[in-house]
Structure formats: structure tokens, C-alpha cells
Amino acid sequence: MVTGFITGLTISTESSNSRVSSPLEFLPLLPAQLHHYWSFLEPGLHEIKVECRAEWIPEDHYAAIVNGRAECFLFRRDERWLGFYDAYPSVVGQGKSDLKYFVWCIWSKYPRDRESDDRGLQTEDRNATIEFIKHRARELKCGFIETVSPRFFHLRLGFEEYARIYRLAVGDVNSKFEFRNPKSAPRGGCY
């Protein structure tokens, strides 16, 4: 269960050359509110699933949030919803510093093309979102933030590559394989 003090936070992205006229707000989505906002979240989750070839379905996120195993924050500017992220803390070792804040998904309404007129605003909002995620991780006493993606844009956000996952398809799991000579069969160990 996700515990800790959940805050709403306003992060100003204003700078001398900023195109932002008002700050980005991050608001916690309480489990009791999830049904009301599902029509906003579900298309974004579906888009991420297709783009990243994820094995989860959007309803996995719904179940995790409504049951308190994950949390979701919506972000907006001037009463216009722009996106969301969902995450959860997880223990990866024995000590308190081994608590990680796993970011399951981040989604925004911004166009995905690099030629978008919103590119400058998109960069400022992306940076504000990362700052909020760091704030939330510190609030939960997490030592680090982790996410998984087949894309490499996280490196531009300050993430470092920690591990790679390699996958080998085994083919038909119902096919039978037998060694012709039992004496030549492997006897265990790593290969």
C-alpha cells in the first residue's frame, strides 16, 4: 500500500525566456476519484502500451491505484489537464536507502512530433514533471527513481542506464523436446 503524505504541488517553470504564463500544478488522484478520471487516463495508458509494447493492460493500473498499490498524479495548467504519471515505492534491498520510487508511466497530451510548436513548452513542462517526481520520491524517503522503457529519451532527463534486459523467445511452449541419448543430457549449472 502506498503510504506517506500526498501533496498537491505547484511548480513554476517561468524563466526569462519562458513561454509559460502560469505554473504547472500536480494533484494527487485519490482512489475514490479514479472512476471519474478514467476516461482521461485510459487513452494515455493505451497509447503507452502500444508504443512501448508493454505486457500490462490499462486495467492493471486501475486496479493498482484503486487498491492503493500505486499512486497517480494529474498535472494541469490553467484548469486544463495536460497529463499524468503513476508510480509506487518499492524495496530493493535491506536498508531504507534501498527504497526506490518506480515510475510506471508518464503521459502528456503534447504531440509526439519533434516539429511541434509546443516543443519549448513541452520541454519546460517535462522538466517540471521530473522535479515533481523527485520531490515525491524524497517525500516517501526513496533513495532513487527508477523506470523501464524500450526508448532512450530517459537519458536526456538525467536517468542513467542501470541494467539492460535481454529477451530470447523460446518458440512454442507446447512443443516437446527429448534428448536422444540420456548420457549426453546437461546435468545442471549455468551455460
Name beta bridge partners: 29.
72
> What's the confidence (pLDDT) of residue 52?
81
Q: Which of 56-70, 112-126, 133-147 has the highest mean pLDDT?
A: 56-70
Whether 6 shows a pLDDT value over 90: the answer reads no
Whether 120 shows a pLDDT value over 70: the answer reads no
The CATH superfamily of 9-168 is Gcn5-related N-acetyltransferase (GNAT) (3.40.630.30)
The residue assigned the cell 551455460 is: 191
pLDDT-derived band at 61 (thresholds 50, 70, 90) equals very high
* pTM reported for the whole predicted model: 0.70
Instruction: With both helix axes pointing from N to C terminus, report the angle between 58-66 and 34-52 in degrees, rounded to the nearest 10.
Output: 140
State the Cα–Cα distance between residues 62 and 71, nearest whole angstrom. 10
> What's the confidence (pLDDT) of residue 90?
86
Q: Of all helices (H) and strands (E), which one includes residue 41?
A: helix 34-52
> What's the confidence (pLDDT) of residue 117?
47
What share of the chain has pLDDT > 70, as a percent?
Answer: 60
